[in-house]
Structure 1
Amino acid sequence: SRTQKLDDYIAADFSKQKSTYLEGVHKDILQRASAFLILKDSKASFTIEGESPKSKRAVRWGLTIGQAGKNPLTKEELLRLQQLVIENSRFVKMGFRKQGGFIGEHDRTTGEPIPNHISARWQDAEQLIDGLIEGCELLLATDIDPVLSAAKVAFGFVFIHPFADGNGRIHRYLIHHILARKGFSQQGIIFPVSASILDHINDYRKVLESYSQPLLDFIEWKATKDNNIEVLNETMDYYRYFDATRQAEFLYGCVSDTINNIIPEEVKYLEQYDEFKRFLDDEFEMPDNMVALMVRFLEQNNGKLSKRRRENEFAALTDDEVVDIGSKFQEVFEDSVM
């Protein structure tokens, strides 16, 4: 439904704000910030799911995020995305579910399911996804607001929960997909909305629960022998038609945070890093790998080089040079990395 908050967000024209801001950023800085923030977004999407992926896995998913919007949304594309998300499928039944699904816990004594969210009946999942894809194409063909469109499609997908695993990350990928296809964000250019979602994880859970919790009262189910859930009544319309107001407000808040905070902070950091690097290069002709080490060590130790580092990696520096470097670091970075 239409709310004052959504009207204010739409009137702010964040897409134009972002484009205007990025036009003033040096191309090299923008490319590096894009690479870092896409990786940050990838890691955040795994962290939201309670996973800590290996760097290679996060990089691979980051590359996928960077290509969001390139391919049209189809069932085959969703299956491809699941294959990219699930690195080891030995213990996961891939593809569209052929059994019930829920999110929640199991009773420690009996093992019976305690659902917080009950997924769409597996018999309805593919038909619902067909409808979601058709709805997505209709949204893309109109001038309906990009963020509202992304909220409807992405949250619609995660509420259906068509797969046994990988739904959450694909749900957040779909946000990137819609924003890119709508021209809100450029393909391959930084828009780390998952990083903002992670920063507001409690609000994210509340937004998901605002749909899932009331729905539990309308679903009849029983536990299966393997402690899964079998839905006993017709529930398709609950997933086909839902009020996405709270989800849209939340997503717009994350978009605003991304544009006003996350992207500018990363760009600022890279500009500061380059200034500090120029100082080290001019004064000490320090190679890039040593500059990166220096910055990391100074960040870890509140702007001071520890005795251990001074005696090992940076033994060639005099005490006065170490003091000068620390002072310059404090001057350039101020409090941004402390």
Structure 2
Amino acid sequence: MRNVGYALLQERLPITAVPVACPALVQPTTRIEKIAHTLAVPPKLAPDADDLLGNVLFALKHEGINLSILAQVLPRIPAIELEAALKRSPNGVYIRKACYLWEAFIGKEIEQHAPVRGKFIQLFEPAQYITRSGARNSKWRIEFNGLGDLTYCATVERSPAITELLGHDIPGRARAFIGSLPPLMMDRAIHWAYLHETQDSFAIEREAPTQDKSRRFIQLLRQAHDRQPLTEDYLVALQNSTVTNPFDLAAAFRHQQNHLGASGIRGAAGISYVPPPPELCRELMESLMRFANEAPTQIDPLVAAGIISFGFVFLHPFMDGNGRLSRFLIHQALCRAGALENGLLLPVSVAMKDAESLYLKTLQTFSRPVRDFWDVQWIDADTITLDFKGSDALYRYWDATPCVLFTLQMAKHALEVDLREETAFLEAFDTLYKAVDERFDVRGSELSKLVMMCLSNDGVISKNCRKQFQYIASEEVFDFIEQAAQQGLEARRALLDEDHTVEPPTERADG
């Protein structure tokens, strides 16, 4: 057995790219078919191992578009080879794609023996990838329909899980749900969402926000509804509003190399991820911002949000505050698309906090393989040398499929579990408070505390709570609150079970 297509190109050439998820492999089969995590290829259909162009054309036809590999392989193929293949098949779909990309990567032209005829073809197959309309190249009659451009482009495959989640129309259902609430209940639910989105976004970074930090981050979240386009100045202002240490305030995108470390591990092994060098980071941030300002209104806004959020954290344009800003950008993308109204916020950070291991696994689908292309020398805690041995294409072209899948999962969980459960909790609180208030004379502020404690403790008023409030309410009041709360909680559970069943996301991050 031997590799074919992209896997062979990675094996035979000194290129640096993330290993392909489903490598093509020559096997004793009669047709090309996917078996487990490989693409089985019969020997008679496998191009020769020394035929680079043949393997490129095979990969384009049977494996799709991998710009990270193609950007490094195509410049190694002489123009004369492409011209010869083009002469044999002047209107061939895959040789046209190869020639188009060769010219884009090299900056030179390939001679055509005859003009290409026929309709325009799309570079990315819409049945395999999520795409958007893009620029057309008349010479090759190809439309670039990727999620970005040839300076920076993510790919998102139409996996069954992503297709299923997109069918839920999560933003539309969120608008309908909030719109169905009475105005006062809607305001309280949205207030809860802002507060807990803030708390859990900080908690993911292992921080407990001060009151001032919380206030500023909530203001930041509300600003997203202004639909302000992303610029360097705007992102710097956002970073400054989330960071309190004056030494960490940014004036621009970073001009020095940064890195992320794994907690509790010393030395080079403790460096878990290294973002692109500063010059490349700045260039790619320009491309990402351009995408962020266009894509949310062109494709599903949650797909755009996943690319923007994870793309931002992988580029890491600031020395501090990148994590919180990356999650803010999910909200910003949804607002820019007009997907959220009336100040609505989907508390995705609340869902992410409950799925931290899956969040980390999703980040690692990109960070782990890229880390292998950095030479890290640890002298001491203050002296670390970082030398990039890879190609720019590693950061320019990346597979965002697991990141978009995770974003969709968290948005669905935020709507169907977190937001709905909090609304149900508020309704239970109102019902219980009213029932007690109509029967007993208890001071309003103290009654609110009692009801909240009881509902938060699964319908039980603890002994300590009874002792704390013994001069405020009688045992009869405590018993009544418990009984009514447990009845209400039981009815609430039954309603939720009847309405829907939502399990915590457990699907593999690679889809």
Counterpart of 1:181 in structure 2 is 336
Pairwise mapping of residues 221-236 of structure 1 onto structure 2 (< 5 A)? 221-223=376-378, 226-233=382-389, 235-236=391-392
State TM-score, norm by structure 2. 0.61
- Separation in 2, partners of 1:316, 1:114: 55
Gap runs ≥5 in structure 1 = none
- The structure with more radius of gyration: 2
The answer on 1:190 being equivalent to 2:353 is: no
**2:239–2:250: 8 Å Cα contact kept in structure 1?**
no
Aligned partner letter, 1:86? V
Task: Tell me whether 1:147 sits opposite 2:302 in the alignment.
Answer: yes
Matched letter for residue 74 of structure 1? T
SS in 1 for 2:386: strand
Label 1:218 to 1:234 Cα distance change in 2 as closer, same or farther (>3 A).
closer
- Cα distance in 2, alignment partners of residues 303 and 5 from structure 1: 37
Residues 35-88 of structure 1, C-alpha deviation per residue, up to 9 Å, x if partnerless? 111110111111111111223322321231132242221111111111111112
- The 3-state SS of whatever aligns with 2:393 is helix
Q: Is 2:162 the partner of 1:6?
A: yes
Residue 106 of structure 1: how far off its partner (Å): 8.3
**2:459–2:489 contact (8 Å) kept in structure 1:** no
1:18 counterpart letter in structure 2: A
> 1:102 aligned to 243, 255, 259, which one?
259
Give me the whole-angstrom Cα distance separating, in 1, the residues matched to 2:425 and 2:273. Answer: 40
Tell me if the contact between 1:298 and 1:304 (Cα under 8 Å) persists in the aligned partners. Answer: yes
Residues 150 and 178, structure 1, Cα contact 8 Å, conserved in 2? yes
Give the corresponding residue for 1:329.
485
Contact 2:268 / 2:376 at 8 angstroms: preserved in 1?
no
Partner of residue 28, structure 1: 184
Structure 1 Cα separation of the partners of residues 209 and 309 of structure 2? 23
Q: What does 1:85-100 correspond to in 2, within 5 Å?
A: 85-90=242-247, 95-100=252-257
Distance, in Å, in 2 between the alignment partners of 1:50 and 1:112 is 23
- Please state which structure has a larger fraction of its residues in helix: 1
Q: Counterparts of 1:252 and 1:107 in 2: how far apart (Å)? A: 32
Partner SS for 2:273: strand
Per the alignment, residue 277 of structure 2 pairs with: 121
Q: For 2:280 and 2:406, locate their aligned partners in 1 and report how far apart those are by CA, in whole Å.
A: 28
CA shift for structure 1 position 113 = 6.3
Confirm whether residue 209 of structure 1 aligns to residue 364 of structure 2.
yes
Tell me which amino acid in the other structure corresponds to 2:235.
Answer: L
Contact 1:128–1:236, Cα closer than 8 Å, also in 2: no
Report the CA distance shift for 1:138/1:214 in structure 2 as closer, same or farther (over 3 A): same
SS in 1 for 2:343: coil
Structure 1 residue 249: deviation in Å?
0.7
Aligned residues: 335
Q: State the alpha-carbon separation in 2 of the partners of residues 336 and 198 from structure 1.
A: 24
Deviation of 1:284 after TM superposition, in Å, equals 2.6
Secondary structure, aligned partner of 1:67 = helix
Unpaired segments of 5 or more residues in structure 2?
Answer: 1-156, 494-511
Matching residue of 1:318: 474
State the distance in 1 between where 2:456 and 2:274 align: 44
TM-score (norm 1): 0.89
Is the contact between residue 377 and residue 385 of structure 2 (CA under 8 Å) also seen in structure 1?
Answer: yes
Determine if contact 1:146/1:182 at 8 Å carries over to the other structure. yes
- 1:306/1:152 Cα in 2 relative to 1: closer, same or farther (>3 Å)? closer
Distance 1:127 1:26, change over 3 A: same
**DSSP 3-state at the match of 2:270:** strand
Q: What CA deviation, in whole Å up to 9, does each residue of 1:256-309 have, x standing for no partner?
A: 111211111011000111111112322234343212211243246553444554
RMSD, matched Cα: 2.6
2:423 counterpart residue number: 267
SS state of the match for residue 246, structure 2?
A: coil
Name the stretch that deviates more: 232-241 or 20-29.
232-241
What amino acid is the match of 2:387? V
For residue 247 of structure 2, what is the amino acid of its counterpart?
A: R
CA distance in 2 between counterparts of 1:141 and 1:311 reads 57
Select the residue among 308, 311, 320 that pairs with 1:165. 320
Query: Secondary structure in 2 aligned to 1:289?
Result: helix
Structure with more relative contact order (C-alpha pairs < 8 Å, separation 6 or more): 1
- Residue 374 of structure 2 aligns with which residue? 219
SS at match of 1:164: coil
Match of 1:76 in 2: 233
Q: Deviations over 1:174-202 (max 9, x none)?
A: 00000111122226213101111111110
Aligned partner of 2:484: which letter? K
Match of 1:255 in 2: 411
| 1:61 and 2:217 are equivalent in the alignment | yes
